Amino acid sequence: MSEASALLFPGQGSHVPRMRQAVERHRPELLELACMEVGDDPFERVSDGTAYQQPAIYCASLAGFTGLGEPEAGFVAGHSLGEFAALVAAGGLSAEDGLRLVALRGRLMQRGAESSGAAGMVAVRAPVERAAAIADRTGLSLANDNSPQQTVLSGPAEALDAAIDAATRAGLRTKRLPVAGAFHSPAMDGAVPELAAALAAVEVRPPRVPVISAVTAAPFDDVRRRLAEGLTRPVRWRETLLTLHERGVRRYLEVGPGKVLTGLVRKTLSGVRAEAAEGLMGAHA
């Protein structure tokens, strides 16, 4: 029996140069729709915030999927934003509906960030238990459980400073992330109703293969509910990878820009093969 494989789709922050060329080549219809939905070329403004970065990464991820010949796998998963591309790859959403939802999500998250005051996110080089203890003491939210060595906290700027100080005193390394909002925290509560309404209006089909939700670390049970919850609930990526491993997955292919998820697989699982298809961005430009 051949070993099981999984396709992984990255989230925000995974943008790389020349993504636009890959989308032009493999999914030009998505480039046109993205410009219409955003009101500008998102690739030219990818550094201007989540409203542009999210649709750009989504389009680049699906361009990578198409450029690879739409490979089949036993499972699919996505990190936060990547869940939308993962569901498209598994046949659960149309690419067009996914893009419209992602463009709305990006706008809502940027609006939430701008209205919540000074806030952000910090990565702590520590397992989730140690980082969660710091979050509890400083009033932050647990945003991402990425690997046994990386947890991301989210919240107000003053609390982030306190958490960085606490982590440093505990001998832990930290890195302030280049985002202006407290994503995956209650600061995004105001974005949930509008995204949920948009999700209610799109067709959701049963996926061809299991898609593991990073909200529950289990196969999607209610796609609309889980995608809406993803705005405020933690990304349980380490647990998602453990779920895939428990189901026999030993080969992981990161589809889309960057290779962040490939690194997280290697830090979380042993005895597996993980590779990124990021070379597609340049090789087919």
What is the spatial distance between Cα 219 and Cα 49, in angstroms, rounded to a whole number? 30
What is the spatial distance between Cα 124 and Cα 207, in angstroms, rounded to a whole number? 35
Give Cβ neighbours of residue 251 (< 8 Å, ≥ 6 apart).
3, 4, 5, 6, 272, 273, 274
Give Cβ neighbours of residue 225 (< 8 Å, ≥ 6 apart).
none
- Give the residue ranges of DSSP H helices in 79-201: 82-89, 95-115, 128-138, 157-169, 192-200
Q: How far is CA 135 from CA 29, 113, 131, 139, 276, in A?
A: 43, 19, 6, 6, 32
- Give the residue ranges of DSSP H helices in 78-127: 82-89, 95-115
Q: Scanning the structure block, which residue is given the tokens 């701008």?
A: 114
Is the Cβ–Cβ distance between 44 and 2 less than 8 Å? no
Set 80, 116, 141, 185: catalytic member: 80
Set 184, 185, 213, 245: catalytic member: 184
Catalytic, 80? Answer: yes
* Residues known to be catalytic: 80, 184
